[in-house]
Structure 1
Amino acid sequence: MDALPAKAVGFTGRDDELRALLDAFDPSAPERPAAVLVAAVSGLGGIGKTALAVEAAHEACGRGWFPGGVLFVDLHGYDDDPVTADQALEALLRALGTAPEHIPATADERAALYRSTLAERARERGAVLILADNASSPEQVRPLLPGDTRHRLLVTSRNKLPQLGARLLPLNELTPQEAYALLDRALWIADPSDSRVADGAEAAAELASRCGHLPLALQIAAALLVLDRDKPIAELAAELTEFRDRLTHLDDGERSVRAAFDLSYRRLPPEQARLLRLLSLAPGPDVGTEVVTVLTEADAPPTRALDALTRTHLVERGNGRGRWRLHDLVRAFGVGVVAGDAALVEEGKAARGRVLEFYYRWAKAADDRLRWLPGMPEPERFVDRAQALGWLDGERAGLVAAVQWAGEERYADTAVRLAECLAEYLEWRRSFDDWITVGRAAREAAHRAGNRLGEGIAWNNLGGALRQAGRAGEAIDAHTRARDLHRAAGDRHREGIAWGNLGLALEEAGRAGEAVDALTRARDLIQAAGDHHGEGIAWNNLGLALRQAGRAGEAVDAHTRARDLHRAAGDHHGEGTAWTNLGNALWQAGRAGEAVEAYGKALETYREFEDWYRAGRTLHNLALAHEVAHRPSDARACWLQAAEAFTRADAPTEAAQARDSADRTNKGPDPTPPPTPITP
């Protein structure tokens, strides 16, 4: 008796999972709890559950573990007419040799006969493996449990089945390496001379990514390539680029990813189906329970529905507890379902609007906390900087994605305001790529809407991101546009801020004279507006340009003014920045002892704020000062501390440079060590 299907052609990967199943089957393994009587392989439709189960069954039989034979039954759990447990028992009894007329009519009698027949088979021939494929519920499977502990039952399902007391083996998508191997092997089997995967490894990796590393999608992609021998892999990958149309292409006429997902979707209760659709519209790679609650407009988190969808593998646990994600192709499926129904489209747009308003409210509160100074109103929700940064860190990907909804008119205004709230945070975390993305989306949306104020702010923030990313020329253009927009609107205060950022970009570009002029203009405009804190920033920036222009004495005065203004405003971090730059100016003025003292003051502040990047920059300057003073051991200690600070700031290049400097310390100081400036 051997009813196993043939092995899947081109089966690859799954080494760990295969070992886990074989370990559960091994009759020579030490005595274990009865749970090993059942192994339940679960996973998303198309994840390769049946292929793995069949591979494991063939391997186990090849090792002689099941001399009594193998029984296979497809329960069609997700079809319109699934196989019932009674029908499955009848089929299994027939396979065991029971004559039809001897099969009882009732379920309990059939189950009893099934167990006694298996027990007799165990005595006469040995253990039997029963493979129940494609189950959708414990009720389909529970009557199939063998009574004799020598037998094994292996179940595959799109649902986790913890109720069975089974050894659970959830399957995830393939690794990138396994996906690459699957594509390569599939093309080689069809034609051993087909080297398109090996010749285009980068394109193959991109294709695998577009397939979400899902075995079914990869097999379909491979079939499409086999059918069109002249089709470059890069061309097929490009066809899968458009997210909404991806599932349309993943169909080879016989197999379809959309059809596989539709089987699961149609079985969902209305609440779960709605939640899946809305999750497909959520921003970012994963979302927290709080955002899910906003999406669904529920009074309380839809925990039960989320847990149910997780058991079906349509929803997965995200990056951290209380976070949720969809496989890329499930997300594409959900987006497609929504797009096909006008009422669902409107429901989805309303849900996105709620999420955007939610994000704006709390990003504004977090931004207020990051900018908070004594005397200001207390922001909502966040009691300190750490709490605000923690929330922003957790939601960053979603926040950045939500800003990009600005392309739709109904979201543009809120998205532009949200982008403004993220500038301080993204600069603090040195997430310059995200900052540029957010700035561009806001700028374009504000321009289309005729929102000149929002456009000017967006240009200014975009310029700051470009400058920090080392693109000074583009930053100059951006700040010039911001300056002109604010000037045209008669907003002298914001014009002054734009002048200040333009001056920093000019300084970065080596245009010190123009930078001094721009920053002087900024200082005067901000001073006239009565913004004493902003004036402190303007003095600090002016000092940087004066020092670059060789006017060290004036730079010392400017940074001293900045330090005092920041201190008066209660801006301890800004005061630390002024101390650093004052140290640089003192250094240039030949006052090295005072410079070291200033760096020490700055370092205390940065450590207090856990501003590790600026701490690293300050330690860099201190190390240079010790080298010039012929204190190599102190210099080396500072270099190593700088490397540690840069590492904590996720600045690996600067960390490596600091370690290299520590290694060369004993070789003598840099003849002209330039201290590094720090901008507010």
Structure 2
Amino acid sequence: MDRDNGPRVRVPEQRAPQQQTAGTDLRFAVLGPVRAWRGGEPLPSGSPQQRALLTALLLRDGRTATAAELIDAIWGEEPPSQALAAVRTYASRLRKILDPDTLISNAGGYAIRTRPDALDLTAAQELAADAEKARAGGDRSRARALLNEALALWGGEPLASVPGPYAENQRTRLEEWRLQLTEARLDLDLELGCHAEAVSELTALTAAHPLRERLRELLMIALYRSGRQAEALAVYADTRRLLADELGVDPRPELSQLQQRILQADEELAHPADEEAPAPAAVRPAQLPATVPDFTGRASFVRELSNRLATAEGSVMAVSALAGIGGVGKTTLAVHVAHQARPHFPDGQLYVDLQGAGARAAEPETVLGAFLRALGTADSAIPDSLDERAALYRSTLDGRRILVLLDNAHDAAQIRPLLPGTAGCAALVTSRVRMVDLAGAHLVDLDVMSPEEALQLFTRIVGEERVSSEREAALDVVAACGFLPLAIRIAASRLAARRTWTVSVLAAKLADERRRLDELQAGDLAVKATFELGYGQLEPAQARAFRLLGLADGPDISLAAAAALLNLEVHAAEDVLESLVDTSLLESAAPGRYRYHDLVRLYARACAERDEQPPVERELALSRLLDFYLATAAGVYALERPGERVLDHFSRTEYPGLTVQVRETALDWLFTESSGLLACARQSASIGMSRRASDLLMAVVDLGESGANSHQFAAAAMAVSEAAGTAGDAQAEGRARTMLTHALSVSGRFAEAEIQAQRALALGRSARDPVSLGQAPNQRGIIALYENRHTDAESHLTEALAAFRADGNKPGEAAALCNLSRVHLATGRTMSAVDLAQQGVTIYEQDTTGLALRLANGKYALGLALMGTGLASRAEATLNEALHVFRDSRQQLWHGMTLFRLAEVHLGNRQPARAASHAEQALAVLRGIGGEWRRANVLTVLGRSLAAIGQTDRARVCWREALSAFEELGSPEAEEVQALLHPTHVAGAA
């Protein structure tokens, strides 16, 4: 709740009419401290007994409470001698605070009359009821959102500090209801696949409510679906032991059955049940082309179009226009749907190929003549003009139910005269052009197949026997085909006709991108020929944009980046790109973002090599794109690291980037563009732009710690390092290998990181590059610290500190000081550790607004130092400051590690339940990043926390997993975990 403006009570959408009530601006809260507001102003609630009276009246839903009932509610069986007078006094005071029309006297008692939505409890009840209805109706996402909204109304312990037996009973009831709502919401979390996120909350709840079996059941399911089967079984063992010790009973049957399902690795339990798709309607033959016998997938499109066409019966005309690139299967889908819709059109189905992708599209007059003849009109009765034929066509269709399939249309003007204009008829249109100017059309953009559908189609053509033994190679084939139905059909047909080929042979042929389009042709079918039809119809400006845009690597590209690549103003670039989208040669991935199908991109690049003259235009386009990314990323870097000197050492850019001054907007840009940025760095280095590519890596270093982009960042750093080495550019190679060191260290591969750091430092010395001379020894110091080589760590960090100071790099100096602080802490010099970290924080604070990312790194180091000196409360507060910045900056690695450190603080402060919750959150955040060494450290602390709250079997599972990781890495921490697993230790911990 908002402390100043009252509880955020959800107003019901619609209620039955009620009598007018007073106090329409009054709000009350009982799901926490009992409070009242008028408008936005808090009202005094008086003494504890006066609040008890207010509570008793609020919880009676407007019914009158007698004086005797109120006395019993406030004092129970031993009221004071003047209890009745006291009740009257409290009521009089409350009436003055609220108003006389809100608290009324009635038949010797009192009642509160106010709007139902004025009480937070009523709002929560309505939200819970709405959630139950949404869940019953199958809308689980809405049900979950409503329950979260209801739970958000709690502001702590309900009726907090309100005395009396009535308040105590109601407090227990409300707490139980809150727990039931939480269980219902957690159940929905698991149904919606959020099992990993639920583990942390369930761990804390089971610690707080150890005998509540439903929570244990949900925790077992969440752990099992997170791939933590052993821990799930350990939860059952802990539960069984606890129930036996505390209550002398066995777990309820549902819990025992769940244990058996986990032991049997029940597949149905591993994933939420999917809804079954309705069976497709029966297909009947008609005047339409035959549907292909191996029609595969497209269930959602078949369902959507079939339902749309079914509405044409007895109603207005329905038009469904399918758009998509050549070869995506528009005609195949349309014919298939038309066959299924035939029962709705018993009077016939018409079909024509309008040849819209060819040089000479069919004339509407000719098509109408053919249609009229098919409908029984004599040749002599067919008029000559287009308008007369269209009028006769519509008159002939009047009173009939007919489906018209207009295949391969050129544009909306071509098909308008061919559309039936009477109720009960429908037209199904396919085209490569999106017919946004076709009034009333239901537009459908057809995309490529899903990997499962593509593999199914390939298997149907080739045969189950040949594919089953080479499933991975078959997946490579359909991926090389870009999941495009035409390409898959061609590749499968070639393989089916060559019995001596294996699937692997075909996959190898398609692996060569420069030969792939040539391989994808069989008989009169060819993917390249399909694309040629669309490319041949482009205007010169469209064709240039199509060619150049295909040069850029990356899954998609933003409008601003595309404008830079094309050297156009943004509005001009948008016009030409949207025109390409309308031709289906380019896809609009999202507003302002564009992408190619993989095979279309290969074709566009082939066109660029063939048609783009002079060839230097291709290199200039990619250079503009690199400049745009580097200039914009440098601006984002500066916002996160004010005062950072590395920017002064970046290469100069010719083409400008975006100017972003709001931190949140800058981060949005960085993470949205992540794949394109890293792809650009790799590609630029490969064509001789290593220096700017290495600078771009440094500018986007935050992606290396983000989780979602860590592996991509490491791959890009490796590629740029190798390309710079081949080009003989020591400065670029040194910077790229510094970034590679960082990426390897983040993933826990410290030995490999040390090798790269040594090479980076040598290259930095060779090139006299102040960037590598500071960052490489700093990285070496961090690695040595992680490997417990404290003398080496101090030597490397001292070297880094000197290099940063020589360059005037204050943020770099602060980073080295904070890292030295951790070395001092590890070697027992706790006071100097605090002093060094504080020096680093002071430097950061001089150059920051308080939100910069590096300041959070300094706070993290200071928090560790304070923890080492035993100042737990200061350490917790400092780490929480860092946590908020890491989370807001989307730095998943540091977010997770700070949660881990908070778990250590709570464990040392004898708060094991909080420690377990934070450790579980750390595991969820660090999933997929940070490496096994960091994960093992978190598991060790989680095990300690679980053992302290009595979940010893689950603790052992965590420790065994940590031990396995430490032993595989050869880490000295293995000895500590072995000691934890000793029976005497676990017994002592329990």
Taking structure 1 as the reference length, the TM-score comes to: 0.87
1:547 and 1:419 mapped to 2: Cα distance?
Answer: 32
**Match in the other structure for 1:678:** none
2:799 and 2:741 mapped to 1: Cα distance?
Answer: 18
CA contact (8 A) 1:314 1:326 kept: yes
Could you say if the C-alpha distance between residues 661 and 112 of structure 1 is closer, same or farther in structure 2, counting changes exceeding 3 Å?
Answer: farther
The correspondence of residues 206-605 of structure 1 with structure 2, limited to 5 A, is 206-301=476-571, 302-318=573-589, 320-341=590-611, 343=613, 345-373=615-643, 381-427=659-705, 431-490=709-768, 494-527=772-805, 531-549=809-827, 552=830, 555-568=833-846, 570=848, 573-588=853-868, 591-592=869-870, 594-605=871-882
Residue 52 in structure 1 maps to residue 333 in structure 2: yes
CA contact (8 A) 1:367 1:425 kept: no
Residue 92 in structure 1 maps to residue 371 in structure 2: yes
Could you say if the C-alpha distance between residues 262 and 553 of structure 1 is closer, same or farther in structure 2, counting changes exceeding 3 Å?
Answer: same
**Match in the other structure for 2:467:** 197
CA contact (8 A) 2:641 2:854 kept: no
Residue 110 in structure 1 maps to residue 384 in structure 2: no
2:412 and 2:822 mapped to 1: Cα distance?
Answer: 71
Identity of aligned residues (%): 33
Give per-residue Cα distances to partners, 1:395-441, cap 9 Å, x unaligned: 21111111122345553343233233222453466733232233223
**Match in the other structure for 1:161:** 435
Deviation at 1:643, TM superposition (A): 6.3
2:810 and 2:710 mapped to 1: Cα distance?
Answer: 28
Could you say if the C-alpha distance between residues 346 and 497 of structure 1 is closer, same or farther in structure 2, counting changes exceeding 3 Å?
Answer: closer
1:259 and 1:663 mapped to 2: Cα distance?
Answer: 64
Residue 666 in structure 1 maps to residue 949 in structure 2: yes
CA contact (8 A) 1:13 1:178 kept: yes
**Match in the other structure for 1:18:** 302
Q: Which moved more, 1:48-57 or 1:565-574?
A: 565-574
1:377 and 1:205 mapped to 2: Cα distance?
Answer: 44
Deviation at 1:343, TM superposition (A): 0.9
CA contact (8 A) 2:782 2:793 kept: yes
Could you say if the C-alpha distance between residues 71 and 498 of structure 1 is closer, same or farther in structure 2, counting changes exceeding 3 Å?
Answer: closer
Which structure 1 residue ranges, 5 or more long, are not aligned? 189-193, 675-680
1:321 and 1:662 mapped to 2: Cα distance?
Answer: 47
1:367 is aligned with what amino acid? Y
Residue 79 in structure 1 maps to residue 362 in structure 2: no
**Match in the other structure for 1:626:** 906
The correspondence of residues 620-659 of structure 1 with structure 2, limited to 5 A, is 620-636=900-916, 638-639=918-919, 642=922
1:580 and 1:521 mapped to 2: Cα distance?
Answer: 22
Could you say if the C-alpha distance between residues 99 and 662 of structure 1 is closer, same or farther in structure 2, counting changes exceeding 3 Å?
Answer: farther
1:648 and 1:509 mapped to 2: Cα distance?
Answer: 21
Deviation at 1:450, TM superposition (A): 3.4
Could you say if the C-alpha distance between residues 439 and 149 of structure 1 is closer, same or farther in structure 2, counting changes exceeding 3 Å?
Answer: same
Residue 174 in structure 1 maps to residue 452 in structure 2: no
RMSD across aligned C-alpha pairs, in angstroms? 3.5
Could you say if the C-alpha distance between residues 157 and 431 of structure 1 is closer, same or farther in structure 2, counting changes exceeding 3 Å?
Answer: closer
Could you say if the C-alpha distance between residues 376 and 95 of structure 1 is closer, same or farther in structure 2, counting changes exceeding 3 Å?
Answer: closer
Residue aligned with 2:405, SS: strand
Could you say if the C-alpha distance between residues 567 and 145 of structure 1 is closer, same or farther in structure 2, counting changes exceeding 3 Å?
Answer: closer
1:10 and 1:234 mapped to 2: Cα distance?
Answer: 23
CA contact (8 A) 2:353 2:408 kept: yes
Could you say if the C-alpha distance between residues 498 and 60 of structure 1 is closer, same or farther in structure 2, counting changes exceeding 3 Å?
Answer: closer
Residue aligned with 2:321, SS: strand
Give per-residue Cα distances to partners, 1:70-115, cap 9 Å, x unaligned: 2222111122222100111122223233333443222222223323
Deviation at 1:529, TM superposition (A): 5.3
**Match in the other structure for 1:677:** none
Which structure 2 residue ranges, 5 or more long, are not aligned? 1-284, 649-656, 964-990
Could you say if the C-alpha distance between residues 470 and 71 of structure 1 is closer, same or farther in structure 2, counting changes exceeding 3 Å?
Answer: same
1:393 is aligned with what amino acid? F
CA contact (8 A) 2:286 2:339 kept: no
1:97 is aligned with what amino acid? G
Q: Which moved more, 1:510-519 or 1:257-266?
A: 510-519
**Match in the other structure for 2:289:** 5
Could you say if the C-alpha distance between residues 282 and 660 of structure 1 is closer, same or farther in structure 2, counting changes exceeding 3 Å?
Answer: farther
CA contact (8 A) 2:585 2:600 kept: yes
Could you say if the C-alpha distance between residues 242 and 518 of structure 1 is closer, same or farther in structure 2, counting changes exceeding 3 Å?
Answer: same
Q: Which moved more, 1:597-606 or 1:492-501?
A: 492-501
2:347 and 2:855 mapped to 1: Cα distance?
Answer: 81
**Match in the other structure for 1:606:** 883
Q: Which moved more, 1:364-373 or 1:664-673?
A: 664-673
Deviation at 1:290, TM superposition (A): 1.0
Could you say if the C-alpha distance between residues 542 and 316 of structure 1 is closer, same or farther in structure 2, counting changes exceeding 3 Å?
Answer: same
Residue 70 in structure 1 maps to residue 349 in structure 2: yes
Deviation at 1:156, TM superposition (A): 1.6
1:201 is aligned with what amino acid? R
Deviation at 1:218, TM superposition (A): 0.9
Could you say if the C-alpha distance between residues 520 and 668 of structure 1 is closer, same or farther in structure 2, counting changes exceeding 3 Å?
Answer: farther
CA contact (8 A) 1:35 1:167 kept: no
Give per-residue Cα distances to partners, 1:7-57, cap 9 Å, x unaligned: 11311112222222322332686x65x351x22222221111111222122
Name which one, 1 or 2, has greater alpha-carbon Rg. Answer: 2
Q: Which moved more, 1:545-554 or 1:261-270?
A: 545-554
Could you say if the C-alpha distance between residues 198 and 666 of structure 1 is closer, same or farther in structure 2, counting changes exceeding 3 Å?
Answer: same
2:685 and 2:767 mapped to 1: Cα distance?
Answer: 24
1:314 and 1:660 mapped to 2: Cα distance?
Answer: 55
Q: Which moved more, 1:453-462 or 1:636-645?
A: 636-645
Taking structure 2 as the reference length, the TM-score comes to: 0.61
1:660 and 1:168 mapped to 2: Cα distance?
Answer: 56
2:747 and 2:603 mapped to 1: Cα distance?
Answer: 37
2:751 and 2:411 mapped to 1: Cα distance?
Answer: 62
Deviation at 1:564, TM superposition (A): 4.2
Could you say if the C-alpha distance between residues 173 and 493 of structure 1 is closer, same or farther in structure 2, counting changes exceeding 3 Å?
Answer: closer
